Structure 1
Amino acid sequence: MRTSSLAGGGMLIGFNLFQACKPKAAPPVDLSLLNYNDFNAFIKIADNGTVTIFSPNPEIGQGVKTAMPMIIAEELDVAWKDVYVEQGILDTENYTRQVAGGSQSIRHGWDALRQTGATAKQMLVNAAAARWGVDASECTVSDGVITNAAGETLGFGDVVKEAALLEVPEDVALKEPKDYKIIGKDAGNVDITKIATGKPLFGLDYKVDGMVYAAVVRPPAFGHKLVSYDDTAAKAMPGVLDVIKIGEKVRGLLAEDPSFSSKISASDKVVVIAESTWQAMKAKEAIKVEWEEETTMESTEEHDKILTDLLDGTTFKTERSDGDIKKAFAEADEILERTYESPFLPHNCMEPMNFFANVTGEKVNLAGPIQTPAWKAGLVAKMLGREEKDIHLEMTRMGGGFGRRLYGDFVLEAAEISDAIKKPVKVVYSREDDMEDGIYRMAIKYRIKAGVKDGKITAYHLKEAAVNSNMYGLIPNFFPAGAIENYQVDTANYESNITTGAWRAPYTNFLAYAEQSFFDELAEMMELDKIQMRLDLLDKVKPEEDERIQYSPERMKEVIKVAVEKSGWGTKPKHIHQGFVNYYCHNTHVAEVADVEIENGEPVVKKITCVVDCGIVINPMGALNQIEGGVIDGVGHSMYGELQFENGRPTANNFDNYRMIRMKEAPEVETHFIQNELSPTGLGEPTLPPAGGAVANAFKAATGNRLYKQPFTKTPELLKVPAKEIIG
């Protein structure tokens, strides 16, 4: 400890936090000094037994860089403390589905990663057995040590060279869940020390010698095109190296692959090349640009009317049709019909978009935060007229993705700029760039109609009208598909020049709220218990008779029952108002209960009880992080999230005028897992969609008002509690 006087007369006390916590902590192992043997694309084993496992998929905070190596290490039978993890590069020959999207990394990788670890272990055992002259079946493995029947031992490092030369066995035994020593145990984020100490990990950290920086002048609104620009003042500023125009190569790519057109602007753009990010961004402000309107300048009011007209119209694509809804509605005793509305949303990743490119005659080197590296490498190859084998792509850790980094328009920009200036370059967005030239969650309206005959739900019709829905519309084979005899799902789309795409939990992030809020209101109309009505509907679902059904009614009923029990549903004190939701998406079954209390005349979300069936939980600590983050994200965006457009331009471009949930507004999240031995499913997204519905249903219990629009704060009059109820 040391002390020094402060000018104000106080005292400053300083200490080394990490030494104070662990005074005898050993310095990190320098992996570069170890004598490694590349066992396969996933595993390297050093002579001293140290194991490095490569994580093949992009890491956007969902924890796969920790969880995927845990799966390999479990079957390899090495102690987790002896494992080091490195990020793999794009390698389409040795890895499959190197994608961060749809909460599918663990689900798709589960079997292959287990086989990888088990196969490597068997080869190591075979090598040890050959050295001893015994049968491999006589050997056992624990924590990276192979033991024979006589009690002799060899470490993995002792036999790795021989093992790597052996024939790869085709049929290996996998562990039973009861024997797991790593899977199912808490493991800290493998990058946490680097994150906490500021070591290079993220795209913004990536640097190479001779690299320059680029800031891009983008159209001020969707529907504008570049006419001319004056860069005189910018070029005279310190650190500015050049000002160029790009766009031609991207337009050529779009002509070849028009399916990408709704995800990227084809307009020309002006680019400042400078020695630093700050110099490039300041010089960008000095460029005088003339733009002109090329297409319709759209606004939120116009979208609102267009979507309503689509719902009222007759031009729909039918996604699923069971029975005869027209006849069922004609014969119904009662009909309930409601319309639900959601706005555009930006992604607002903590780390703004950025990417590095170095285009040379021999190679195209790319590096940065991207959710779909193989797709982007292929697009860059097409755009530059190169072979895909010429593209080398390194994945950095991402400061958030949520779907925004699926599309990689920033990757194309970096590659086109580097190709033009013949230098290594990094494109860096400002927050304003990120929000004004984004790829947004599309605005959507749902209209849901149900018919009741003799006290039973006999008809259900769901209609979607969306801006640029593309493939990101609703899911026709989720609940209540299969539970209602006459069931139809229709979609209608309005094509806009505003770029749209996947936003965390696409398809379901808004639909879950709309449908589950509707079910609550339907139960009230029918004077039924809300939970029992859902359970009764699930009893009618027969997946064995309808292969289209994607959810399990039995697993759904289980999460419902546990949520009722764990949340104290219906037994809480009078001042606590509860809202219930059950939902299935991304292969995972979830039930959530929101607890709301009245403070200063308005409802406040205090707690969310969340029950999840995601099969085997690889890393409980990481799973909890995903669940809690998804719930809070779902509550925040349903309460506050909204991006409007005026004349083709977003009305918010930074956090000073875009409302997000604040720390003090985040509810407590209590999580319960359904314990089973089924293969793991997704966790990055499934807890977000139900959160908005649970809150809306709890608000109804608290205020007596139903909410039909997101964000809920858009209709503040519906969040007020009658004065007589506050007094009561």
Structure 2
Amino acid sequence: MANLNKTSRRDFLKIAATAGGGLFIGFSWSSCDSPKMKVLTNEEVLAQSKHFNGYLSISPSGDIIIYSPNPELGQNIKTSFPMVVAEELDADWSRVRVVQANLDTEHFERQVTGGSGAMPHSWERLRKAGATAKYLLVAAAAQKWDVEASTLLTSNGMVTHRESGKTISYGDLVEDASQIDAPEEVILKESKDFKLIGTPVKNVDNPSMFTGKPLYGLDFYRQGMLNAMIQRAPFGMKIKSVDDSEAKAVKGVDDVVVFNNNVAVVGKTTWPLMKAKRLLKISYEPDGLVESTEDHDRLFKEMLDSKEATSMRKDGDVDKAFRNAAQIVTSEYQCPFLSHSPMEPMNFFAHVKNGSAELVGPTQTPERARMETAKLLGIEPENVTVQITRLGGGFGRRLAADFVIEAVELSRLLNAPVKLTWSREDDMTGGAYRPAVRYRFQASLDAGGNMTGYKLRGAGINAGNSTRQDNFPSGCVDNLLIDTIEHKSPITTNPWRAPITNFLAYAEQAFLDEVAYTAGKDPVQFRLDLLNKGKRSPVGDVNYDIDRMIGVIEMAADKSNWGQKSNVKQGFSVYFSHRSYVAQVADIEMDNNEPVLKKITAVTDCGIVVNPTGANHQVRGGIVDGMGHAMFGNLTFENGVSKQKNFDTYRLIRMKEVPEIDVHYVNNGIDPTGLGEPALPPTGGAIANAIFQATGKRLRSQPFIEQMEFPDTKMRIGRS
């Protein structure tokens, strides 16, 4: 049965024909995270459109235009969102276009990209937009031909009269359709009738990316602008003195500016600025805490032993469970700071004028950029404009606005338009990192090997709550205690792809394997037993779908032939994050006494898969990202400065090291849930558990590579 959804007239605004006779269907983008399309270059078609809130428009030429409010950073919503609209509209996909909208808080809400929330927030609204437009076009055709609307069919941008066979294009109907009132209710398709959704569609920006057309912040250029690069102080230090004589002598350097504990070199192009920055002679002195990695090791021990932790969840009588335990399993897991390392380093353009500011660049949070700029300059937010470019990666780093504010400060000081560019070294040494965390786990077992109690303490450095207290196994254990404690550090941190769960999932899943091993139980069956117990008699609130988690576990075990492969050691992991469920199995084979990671099988339940091409990229990319950082990623500090300053010392995964990845999806027909992040968290646990099965060694800290020296073996990854 089709969905019947009431549509508010505040959601859909119909505007009468403009100069081009076009039909414009407006819809509110509240709760949307971002659409977008092939970049529109036909100025005639664009001129017929009229911007008023986020909207869908159809021109007399038949072109369908979608204004995209939110940033695109590689999560593929620039392709997937228009697919949803086009599906309900029965549009000709080749005629769909997109225009990137600037920040506009009057017409758009939540112009943010983050948290894997784009499709879950926007799914129904986008469908209603397409269905409403189709209703009006069909009504216009019915009036033109004097027939009942029920006798008409739509397909590929055309309306057809079933009995006579007459056809007419959407473009020929838009003027008449613009005179018809939008309906209060629209009927949405059943998923079985989808023609475009669920089919592989290439990224609509591919032609521009392949041919090098300007898309990204680094591509932006304005005649007469200045370029700037900044030397930032170490964390916890302040400038004592600056000798800029050698830097100013570099040809192409116009000025050196000291501001807010920063030293900026300014000129017409970036190359002389990079050279000049290295010639700056800056001395620093402490300004509060100045920390090194050795300090953090000591702090972790103190926090894990402290009595000051904040309790996040407590079920049952934990003390009693541990007093009566037949066995107790205790382990600690640790993760380091990590750099976000997007391919495009931080950059932004700012032009501060009299009482206003113009901003252009890659940001995940354009509204934050506007508000912080307005606050700094003491002006009204409506006097700050933000033009959004495509982002060359973000992973959470571009949720912050520090790099935007630096550009604004310089533009104000220099009284000129300024483009600020960070180098890779700037990103590594002056960025905002994934927090460093250490976890202490304890589990109590009865004589039958059943887990009767569970404790988790997270000790984080600028991590906030370093746990996810309501995730599995919460709700499935009778006695449970989860608490957290934090150290405030001058080292800045920021959400990193799948915040907190990117490491917590590995630690939790590796520890559950330890518990299953101690209990003498199969790791997969151990998890299923816990989940079935929680399903029968849940303990406290269960804030995840037990059936969906069981579904991915069983499917992953089946697809990977769990426990049935000869000469293959397997590791299992499953996790729920950002509304989706992912289970993974890692296969390791021994070759000349070396463990070799051969394959990862991944099963994802993210509801309806809108675009399999984009979905596969997200799942595979998340696995590669999770694997690479678990294996290699590490930032260590000395006197407030990261020792790793570029990719020669900050190790990333290489193409030859990526194993075979086998991707599957649960086809349950529910509305789409998040996909940009959920595939990353389970990966580290699956690999670590497989390594244990192959070698008998538990990997309890990242990066794994630092623990890989087994008695007679050395881990090898990749298919060779």
Normalising to structure 1: TM-score of the pair?
0.89
1:32 maps to amino acid = E
Cα deviation 1:648-668 (Å, max 9, x = unaligned):
110100011111111111111
* Pairing 1:98-117 to 2, within 5 Å after superposition: 98-117=111-130
Residue number among 15, 36, 49 corresponding to 1:37 in the alignment: 49
* Pairing 1:330-369 to 2, within 5 Å after superposition: 330-361=323-354, 363-369=356-362
* SS at 1:440 equivalent: coil
Is the counterpart of residue 378 in structure 1 residue 362 in structure 2? Answer: no
| Matches of 2:320 and 2:539, distance apart in 1 | 23
Aligned length: 674
**Paired residue for 2:168?**
154
CA shift, 1:164, in A, is 4.3
* SS at 1:364 equivalent: strand
| Matches of 1:661 and 1:286, distance apart in 2 | 33
| Matches of 1:423 and 1:722, distance apart in 2 | 56
The structure-2 alpha-carbon separation of the partners of 1:616 and 1:297, relative to structure 1 and needing over 3 Å to count, comes to same
| Matches of 2:627 and 2:615, distance apart in 1 | 18
CA shift, 1:104, in A, is 1.0
Residue number among 461, 466, 488 corresponding to 1:467 in the alignment: 461
**Paired residue for 2:250?**
237
CA shift, 1:503, in A, is 0.9
The structure-2 alpha-carbon separation of the partners of 1:28 and 1:97, relative to structure 1 and needing over 3 Å to count, comes to closer
Is the counterpart of residue 224 in structure 1 residue 237 in structure 2? Answer: yes
* SS at 1:509 equivalent: helix
2:156 maps to amino acid = D
**Paired residue for 2:433?**
440
Is the counterpart of residue 317 in structure 1 residue 310 in structure 2? Answer: yes
| Matches of 1:722 and 1:156, distance apart in 2 | 64
| Matches of 1:625 and 1:454, distance apart in 2 | 46
CA shift, 1:136, in A, is 4.2
| Matches of 2:123 and 2:540, distance apart in 1 | 23
Residue number among 195, 198, 201 corresponding to 1:181 in the alignment: 195
Residue number among 564, 582, 586 corresponding to 1:590 in the alignment: 582
CA shift, 1:129, in A, is 3.8
| Matches of 2:249 and 2:629, distance apart in 1 | 44
Contact 1:543 1:552 in 2 (8 A): no
CA shift, 1:688, in A, is 0.9
CA shift, 1:542, in A, is 4.2
* SS at 2:481 equivalent: strand
**Paired residue for 1:251?**
none
Indicate the larger mover: 118-127 or 695-704.
118-127
Cα deviation 1:568-590 (Å, max 9, x = unaligned):
1111122x211111111111111
* Pairing 1:135-534 to 2, within 5 Å after superposition: 135-148=148-161, 150-164=164-178, 166-219=180-233, 221-247=234-260, 268-361=261-354, 363-455=356-448, 456-471=450-465, 473-534=466-527
CA shift, 1:359, in A, is 1.8
| Matches of 1:67 and 1:436, distance apart in 2 | 36
| Matches of 1:31 and 1:344, distance apart in 2 | 47
* SS at 2:662 equivalent: strand
Report the identity percentage.
47
| Matches of 2:636 and 2:284, distance apart in 1 | 22
The structure-2 alpha-carbon separation of the partners of 1:463 and 1:569, relative to structure 1 and needing over 3 Å to count, comes to same
Contact 2:478 2:539 in 1 (8 A): no
Cα deviation 1:101-123 (Å, max 9, x = unaligned):
11111111111211222222223
2:294 maps to amino acid = E
| Matches of 1:246 and 1:69, distance apart in 2 | 44
| Matches of 1:447 and 1:648, distance apart in 2 | 26
Residue number among 646, 649, 665 corresponding to 1:673 in the alignment: 665
* SS at 1:717 equivalent: coil
| Matches of 1:719 and 1:548, distance apart in 2 | 45
| Matches of 2:75 and 2:612, distance apart in 1 | 13
2:205 maps to amino acid = D
CA shift, 1:138, in A, is 4.3
The structure-2 alpha-carbon separation of the partners of 1:557 and 1:420, relative to structure 1 and needing over 3 Å to count, comes to same
* SS at 2:285 equivalent: strand
Contact 1:483 1:541 in 2 (8 A): yes
**Paired residue for 2:31?**
none
Cα deviation 1:239-272 (Å, max 9, x = unaligned):
223322333xxxxxxxxxxxxxxxxxxxx21212
Q: In structure 1, list runs of 5 or more residues that go unmatched.
A: 1-26, 248-267, 724-728
Cα deviation 1:449-500 (Å, max 9, x = unaligned):
11112422111111100001125x2211110011001111100001100001
**Paired residue for 1:658?**
650
Contact 2:708 2:714 in 1 (8 A): no
The structure-2 alpha-carbon separation of the partners of 1:369 and 1:30, relative to structure 1 and needing over 3 Å to count, comes to closer
Indicate the larger mover: 483-492 or 141-150.
141-150
1:465 maps to amino acid = A
Normalising to structure 2: TM-score of the pair?
0.90
Contact 2:228 2:418 in 1 (8 A): yes
The structure-2 alpha-carbon separation of the partners of 1:543 and 1:85, relative to structure 1 and needing over 3 Å to count, comes to farther
| Matches of 2:550 and 2:348, distance apart in 1 | 45
1:31 maps to amino acid = N
**Paired residue for 2:618?**
626
Q: Say what the alpha-carbon RMSD is for the aligned residues.
A: 2.2
| Matches of 1:29 and 1:270, distance apart in 2 | 40
Contact 1:703 1:722 in 2 (8 A): no
The structure-2 alpha-carbon separation of the partners of 1:269 and 1:544, relative to structure 1 and needing over 3 Å to count, comes to farther
